[in-house]
Amino acid sequence: MNDYSQYGGSDPTAMMQAMGPFFAVIAIVGIAIAVFSIFCWWKIFSKAGFNGALSLVFLAGIIPLIGPIICLVLFIWFAFAEWPVTKRANNPPQP
């Protein structure tokens, strides 16, 4: 086993225990940012006329390697798709 006495102690678990709350705060902040992001995308999709549940696809972003590609494809599709709101605005119902 490695000798950690040069770092102020012989037991590395003390350092890991001290870092635990720091990582907990980082995790809580990360989850809060993810929830807020999904909420914002839900509102954007809803205002564009799509189902707001499409924002949940962004949860795929946590999948390594594939997740960011899925998010990018959804973002590009959303940017270039014809929105239902614009269809309704261009073709108002006949009286």
53, 45, 56, 60: CA torsion to nearest 10: 140
Task: Please write the tens of the pLDDT for every residue from 9-27.
Answer: 556 777 778 888 899 999 9
Could you list the residue range(s) of the whole structural domain that residue 9 is in? 5-90
- Higher-scoring residue by pLDDT: 14, 48: 48
* pTM > 0.95: no
Q: Residue 40 domain-assigned?
A: yes
User: Nearest to residue 42, comparing CAs of 29, 55, 27?
Assistant: 55
Q: Structurally, how many domains does the chain consist of?
A: 1
User: Nearest to residue 43, comparing CAs of 61, 55, 35, 34?
Assistant: 55
Q: Residue 95 domain-assigned?
A: no
Question: Does residue 83 have a pLDDT over 80?
Answer: yes
Q: What is the DSSP string of the chain?
A: ----GGGT-S-HHHHHHHHHHHHHHHHHHHHHHHHHHHHHHHHHHHHHTS-GGGGGGGGGGGSTTTHHHHHHHHHHHHHHSPPHHHHHHHSPPP-
pLDDT confidence of residue 17: 81
Q: Residue 37 domain-assigned?
A: yes
